[in-house]
Amino acid sequence: MSALALKNLTKTYRNGHVALRGIDLEVAEGDFFALLGPNGAGKSTAIGIIASLVNKSAGSVAVFGRDLDRDPNGVKVNIGLVPQEFNFNQFEPVEEILVNQAGFHGIPRRQAFVEAEKWLRQLELWDKRRGMARELSGGMKRRLMIARALIHRPRLLILDEPTAGVDIEIRRAMWKFLSDINRQGVTIILTTHYLEEAESLCRNIAIINHGRIVEHGGMAQLLRKLHKEHLVLNLAEAPARPPQLKGFTVIAANDASLEVEITQDCNLHDLFRQLEAQGLRVIGVRNKQNRLERIMLDMADQRKEAS
């Protein structure tokens, strides 16, 4: 069974802005999944819909087979959400925040204290349990958000940019914690605009851009694609038929121009030799960015602006 299935998920905000343009996505149970994309791509909107914080315009959401429209409570009990902003009461003691959240999910108070202790210890907040939330450091507040999302033992944990503004040491500790609970069986989905973060944690990935899924698959497969380049070759004359090339993939052939996908370590002489053997002379070569590369560069630019 899939942990999450989105079909044709669409969102138009009241001001007419189309944030999601029909998203299809499936996340397997037990997966560690990244939803990657530049700012404004639609990641938070998608998560907001799954967590019942935003109304969808069309399409369907199913969490462990429960349909969001028909069984919203069945969806809610299975999801723990860690939103980007700290949205707990800053003037409440840390332990109370967890116990009250457990109460909200119908967990009896005595058991709630047991659960709270388990997560506070695991997230190294136990010593801080009596203090007010506002006394915690940024990294501790982030961990409190995670503890609160896990208090009812959801099978799916969704984190929206969990490490934004978190320093590298705390980020690493958080990654380890998330990997551990994933190994214990919790399916995890996180949004990020750090490719490195997705790379170190996630097995599968979807890339969203302008409200559309532009890539969906295994992390390793995506990285392989990123290491490929596109070359546009200008030929002396248009070939009578598309050339047959061993070890190279022809992406497009228009008149006298040929677009070829190459790996970074391939031998270009070999490419030219094969073309010549088929009577084709190359008179010009240029690199073309592939679509994925462009999206990644957008994300890198945004990070530069943010820092």
Interaction site with ligand ADP (CB under 6 A): 13, 15, 17, 19, 37, 39-45
Least spacing, CB of residue 45 vs ligand ADP, in Å: 3
Q: Which is nearer to ligand ADP, 51 or 235 (CB)?
A: 51
Least spacing, CB of residue 223 vs ligand ADP, in Å: 21
Least spacing, CB of residue 122 vs ligand ADP, in Å: 28
Indicate the DSSP class of residue 244.
P
Rounded alpha-carbon distances, angstroms, from residue 69 to 27, 66, 201, 202, 286:
19, 9, 31, 29, 51
Look at the block and give the residue holding tokens 């530069």: 304
Read out DSSP for 36-68? Answer: E--TTSSHHHHHHHHTTSS--SEEEEEETTEET
Q: Which is nearer to ligand ADP, 19 or 102 (CB)?
A: 19
Look at the block and give the residue holding tokens 């399916």: 187
- Give residues with Cβ within 8 angstroms of 78, minimum separation 6: 63, 64, 66, 154, 155, 156
CA distance 185 to 162: 19
Q: Which is nearer to ligand ADP, 260 or 299 (CB)?
A: 299
Q: Which is nearer to ligand ADP, 154 or 211 (CB)?
A: 211
Question: Could you give the dihedral angle defined by the CA atoms of residues 240, 245, 251 and 256, in that order, rounded to the nearest 10 degrees?
Answer: -30
Q: Which is nearer to ligand ADP, 19 or 147 (CB)?
A: 19
SS (H, E, C) 77-110: CCEEEECCCCCCCCCCEHHHHHHHHHHHCCCCHH
Least spacing, CB of residue 147 vs ligand ADP, in Å: 24
Q: Which is nearer to ligand ADP, 19 or 260 (CB)?
A: 19
Q: Which is nearer to ligand ADP, 19 or 136 (CB)?
A: 19
User: What is the separation of C-alpha 300 from the centre of its chain, rounded to a whole number of angstroms?
Assistant: 15
H-helix or E-strand spanning residue 183: helix 168-183
Least spacing, CB of residue 123 vs ligand ADP, in Å: 25
CA distance 29 to 31: 6
Least spacing, CB of residue 90 vs ligand ADP, in Å: 24
Q: Which is nearer to ligand ADP, 260 or 295 (CB)?
A: 295
Least spacing, CB of residue 142 vs ligand ADP, in Å: 18
**Shortest CA distance to 147 belongs to which of 110, 117, 168?**
117
H-helix or E-strand spanning residue 294: helix 291-306
